[in-house]
Chain A
């Protein structure tokens, strides 16, 4: 698999506080990577380090295969756009003027791409309206447009839907999906709003205490979260035979427990097991939400 961003045991130590303690993550090309963690887990710190705003105190990372201590890292960064915490905009300028400034920073020969960018983020009719008069959603979209100047291949969005109203959330979500699908831009989104991430992400990195506790694809997460029947039996070998006969998907989790990813007729299951000398001790329905999965990973009791 080709990765656009990889970190290897990245550490960040402030005076008396360790923000990142050996964080390793891998962002595949073309993914929407949901970077999930509670407040203070280290999401923004990592994004700041990737963007070059802060230096790691340990470990390394690479962007488009270029390591952070390579002088060419600045060239790799120029293929990347980012909105860190809040969009970086000149409030006294219009949307177009902000984009022009960005184009000049990039050394673009002309401003031809600006109308297309404004249309892409739904701001083409803002005219002479100054950014200070924009709504939060409009600013967020303009921030994304600025991050996209120069046809970037990687977009880092730090809490892009924080503070947005429902309409704004939908707009930003649709924009992110469109950028990923139509322009094949790899997008890293840090967020603690799990429901919203679930609608976007193709890959997840769960961060807690400054390190990644689990990295998985959306399919893997779906498997982990899907509805199942958890059964406790006296003989899992017998259960396995019965479930195979019934053509059901299942996972044996230990000597006495299994997860069945279907809704079997309980009476039929009990009789079939009895025929093989196995008893059904208990069964319960289970459906893990993304939130539940996250809590099971990081431990809810520590939540501040």
Chain B
């Protein structure tokens, strides 16, 4: 697997698509803060609340880009036939999938760090007083968001293992958007339902929408939500492995 990672990681890190994703990430983080700044009408409290809401919201959109990145690059391996070389050289399907998982989890981490850094740097540039933030709550929520990003990356791997085509990135985008809105609406309209609460722990949209919908809000049992999200990610990965092991490749 080390050989696969050492061959693919530099290629992915140098890819134009990753650069585009990072630029989009920075743009969305900076854009979220700046739009909140404009709308706050110089009220620091409103500004902080709005930017924390917006950054969480855009944070839910961004996994589509990181997931799309892996879908596009892996689809490229299938369409160019590069994946054939990996098989011929004796790399097992399990190792190939594990290498993809590690590489694209790493790119997800990079994108996440860039996103968070861009958010806080922009906040700092606006001169806002960040001392009012509860650092522990923010860090917990950020880690939770990252768990959701990873879970989405596993979903993306599953989709590309089922349907290895560049169009899969579009399918991932559509599925994300199609599920996000109903879950947010269901969570907002039925916050008392136990079933909805359980379901929300698997989808950050519902989890955050049901309560504060802010990066600065202290949510109920975040560790349980993280476990649920990662658990679902593991299920996606196992399904991806099942499909990939069974798949006849051309």
Among A102-110, A165-173, A244-252, A275-283, which stretch is in contact with chain B? A102-110
How near does chain A come to B19, taking the closest CB pair, in angstroms? 14
Say whether A78 faces chain B, with CB atoms less than 8 Å apart. Answer: yes
How near does chain A come to B223, taking the closest CB pair, in angstroms? 39
With A and B bound together, what is the CA distance between A66 and B112 in angstroms? 45
Q: Cβ of A38: which chain B residues have Cβ within 8 Å of it?
A: none
Known: A54-B248, A55-B248. A105 touches B84 (CB 8 A): no
Q: Are B85 and A53 in contact (CB under 8 A)?
A: no
With A and B bound together, what is the CA distance between A146 and B84 in angstroms? 12
Say whether A192 faces chain B, with CB atoms less than 8 Å apart. Answer: no
Q: Cβ of B90: which chain A residues have Cβ within 8 Å of it?
A: 73-78
Q: Which residue of A lies closest to B86 (CB)?
A: A105
With A and B bound together, what is the CA distance between A182 and B211 in angstroms? 73
Q: Are A105 and B249 in contact (CB under 8 A)?
A: no
Interface core residue of A53, A82, A85 (most chain B CB under 10 Å):
A53
Q: Are A88 and B80 in contact (CB under 8 A)?
A: yes
How near does chain A come to B46, taking the closest CB pair, in angstroms? 47
With A and B bound together, what is the CA distance between A19 and B164 in angstroms? 23
How near does chain B come to A172, taking the closest CB pair, in angstroms? 18
Q: Cβ of B167: which chain A residues have Cβ within 8 Å of it?
A: none
Among B3-11, B49-57, B195-203, which stretch is in contact with chain A? B3-11
Q: Are A82 and B81 in contact (CB under 8 A)?
A: no
Interface core residue of A52, A54, A81, A156 (most chain B CB under 10 Å):
A52
B-side interface size class: 20 to 34
Binary interface encoding of chain B residues 1-40 relative to chain A, with 1 for a CB under 8 A from any of its CBs, else 0: 0111011001100000000000000000000000000000
How near does chain A come to B8, taking the closest CB pair, in angstroms? 8
With A and B bound together, what is the CA distance between A101 and B82 in angstroms? 10
Q: Which residue of B lies closest to A14 (CB)?
A: B248
How near does chain A come to B161, taking the closest CB pair, in angstroms? 15
Say whether A51 faces chain B, with CB atoms less than 8 Å apart. Answer: yes
Known: A51-B88, A53-B87, A77-B88. A106 touches B248 (CB 8 A): no
Binary interface encoding of chain B residues 222-250 relative to chain A, with 1 for a CB under 8 A from any of its CBs, else 0: 00000000000000000000000000111
Q: Cβ of B11: which chain A residues have Cβ within 8 Å of it?
A: 90, 101
Say whether A87 faces chain B, with CB atoms less than 8 Å apart. Answer: yes
Identify A87's interface contact among B3, B4, B81, CB under 8 A. Answer: B81
Q: Are B250 and A91 in contact (CB under 8 A)?
A: no
With A and B bound together, what is the CA distance between A202 and B81 in angstroms? 29
Q: Which residue of B lies closest to A73 (CB)?
A: B90
Q: Are A77 and B81 in contact (CB under 8 A)?
A: no
Q: Which residue of B lies closest to A12 (CB)?
A: B248
Q: Are B2 and A86 in contact (CB under 8 A)?
A: no
Task: Name B82-107 residues within 8 Å CB distance of A.
Answer: 82-92
Q: Cβ of A51: which chain B residues have Cβ within 8 Å of it?
A: 84, 87-88
Q: Cβ of B2: which chain A residues have Cβ within 8 Å of it?
A: 107
Say whether A48 faces chain B, with CB atoms less than 8 Å apart. Answer: yes
Q: Are B87 and A107 in contact (CB under 8 A)?
A: no
Q: Cβ of B91: which chain A residues have Cβ within 8 Å of it?
A: 74, 105
Say whether A216 faces chain B, with CB atoms less than 8 Å apart. Answer: no
Identify A107's interface contact among B3, B80, B88, CB under 8 A. Answer: B3
With A and B bound together, what is the CA distance between A112 and B83 in angstroms? 24
Q: Cβ of B88: which chain A residues have Cβ within 8 Å of it?
A: 51-52, 77, 80-82, 147, 156
Q: Are B85 and A146 in contact (CB under 8 A)?
A: yes
Say whether A201 faces chain B, with CB atoms less than 8 Å apart. Answer: no
With A and B bound together, what is the CA distance between A14 and B250 in angstroms? 13
Say whether A177 faces chain B, with CB atoms less than 8 Å apart. Answer: no
Q: Are B3 and A105 in contact (CB under 8 A)?
A: yes
Q: Are B3 and A53 in contact (CB under 8 A)?
A: no
How near does chain B come to A160, taking the closest CB pair, in angstroms? 14
Q: Cβ of B80: which chain A residues have Cβ within 8 Å of it?
A: 88-91
Say whether A221 faces chain B, with CB atoms less than 8 Å apart. Answer: no
With A and B bound together, what is the CA distance between A86 and B81 in angstroms? 8
Identify A105's interface contact among B81, B89, B92, B248, CB under 8 A. Answer: B89
Known: A48-B250, A77-B90, A78-B90. A101 touches B84 (CB 8 A): no
Given contacts A53-B248, A106-B89, 8 further A-B contacts (CB under 8 A): A53-B87, A84-B81, A101-B7, A102-B7, A105-B3, A105-B4, A105-B85, A107-B6
22 A-B pairs, CB-CB below 8 angstroms? A14-B248, A51-B84, A52-B88, A53-B249, A54-B248, A54-B249, A55-B248, A74-B90, A77-B87, A77-B89, A77-B90, A78-B89, A84-B84, A86-B81, A88-B80, A88-B81, A88-B82, A88-B83, A89-B80, A106-B3, A107-B2, A146-B85
